[in-house]
Structures are given as structure tokens and as C-alpha cells.
Amino acid sequence: MVDQIWLWTGWALGLDAPELALGHMLVRAVVVFIFAIVIVRVGKKRFISENTAFDVILGVMLGSILSRAITGQSPFFPTLGASVLLVALHWFFARIAVRWDDFGTLIKGNTRVLIRDGTVDWEAMRRSNLSRNDLLEALRLQANLLTWDQVKEARLERNGEISIIKADP
């Protein structure tokens, strides 16, 4: 029975086929899609929602590796194994980052204060590659403010968003 399942799986995925047919690629696409959902959800639940560069790198690498499994450019099961390893490594680094702030800063970056008590830190803006218009846009979108003199603090967060705390009236 197990041998029959293995033979059918190999046939459906085109594991021994000299060239992948459309049907093989369709089956591979479905399997890889479900596989990617499972490993991302098991490995890192916030992967899609709050992207840091650390998270985006995983996404790009997973996409690159898993696409090779679909198109047959790499052996199917070793490619899935490499994907599991990447998600496990991402999870492991994230766990270390939770326990060791310096490591978290190394792989995820740190925040940068852009405005404090209505005063813009233009040097921090320059280092963050943010323009005056970028800052004003964030004030409008995030806090419904037109000027920064009503801001207690604004930070460029590790995920690239600007968080804003309004000053007390």
C-alpha cells in the first residue's frame, strides 16, 4: 500500500519524468502552495502581517526556492526540505531575538526617533532616507495631523512604518 502511494505520488509529481508536463507542474504548484502555507503558519504566524527586513528575506528566499520545486529546476523533496530548514532557521533566530535584544537589533534593526516634542531630528531623517514630504504624509495618514508641532514622538519602526504619538493638547 505504501509502495503504491509512493509510486502514484512520484507519477503525479513527475519525479522520474525526463521532462515535466503541464499536469506535473499543476500538481506541484498545488502541493508547494499548500506546503508553503503550512510551513509559514507553523514557523512564523506574523510573517505576512508585520514585515521587517528579516521577514521579507524569508519570503523572497521561500518564493525563490519553492518556485524551483514547481518548475523542476531542483529535485522536489530536497527543495521542500530546504524550505523547511529556512523557516526553522527564521523561527530559531526569532526565538533568540526574543531572549537577546542585541541579537534582535542585529537581525531586525532598531527604531529611530524622528520627532520629539514637536522638533524634527533632521539627521535621523537623513539617515532613514526620509524626506520632509514622507514625514508629512505619515503625519496625515497615521495621526490626522498637518504639522509636526503637535507630535510628542514619531519613530521609524523596525518594520519601516512611522508610528506617531500625539502631544497632549
Domain ranges (residues) in the chain: 2-106, 111-166
For the chain, give the mean pLDDT. Answer: 85
d(CA 131, CA 128): 9
Phi and psi at residue 27, to the nearest 5°: -65, -45
- The CATH class for the domain spanning 111-166 reads alpha beta
Q: What is the pLDDT of residue 43?
A: 53
Q: DSSP assignment, residue 50?
A: S
Identify the CA nearest to 62 among candidates 43, 105, 30. 43
Q: Please give the chain's pLDDT, 169 residues, in tens.
A: 888 888 888 888 888 888 877 787 778 877 887 787 677 666 544 444 556 777 777 888 888 988 988 888 888 888 888 888 888 888 888 899 899 999 888 877 788 999 999 999 999 999 988 999 999 999 999 999 999 999 999 999 887 889 999 998 7
Q: What is the pLDDT of residue 40?
A: 65
- Summarize pLDDT for 24-64 with one digit per residue, the tens: 777 887 788 778 767 766 654 444 455 677 777 788 888 89
Could you tell me how many helices (H) and strands (E) the chain has, helices first?
7, 4
Phi and psi at residue 113, to the nearest 5°: -75, 125
d(CA 65, CA 74): 9
The CA–CA distances, whole Å, from 80 to 15, 138, 161 equal 13, 40, 33
Q: What is the pLDDT of residue 32?
A: 81
d(CA 24, CA 12): 6
**Cβ contacts of residue 26 below 8 Å, gap of 6+?**
none
Alpha helices in 44-121 (DSSP H): 53-71, 76-99, 101-108
d(CA 144, CA 6): 59
The CA–CA distances, whole Å, from 17 to 11, 20, 21, 29 equal 8, 6, 8, 16
Q: What is the pLDDT of residue 149?
A: 92
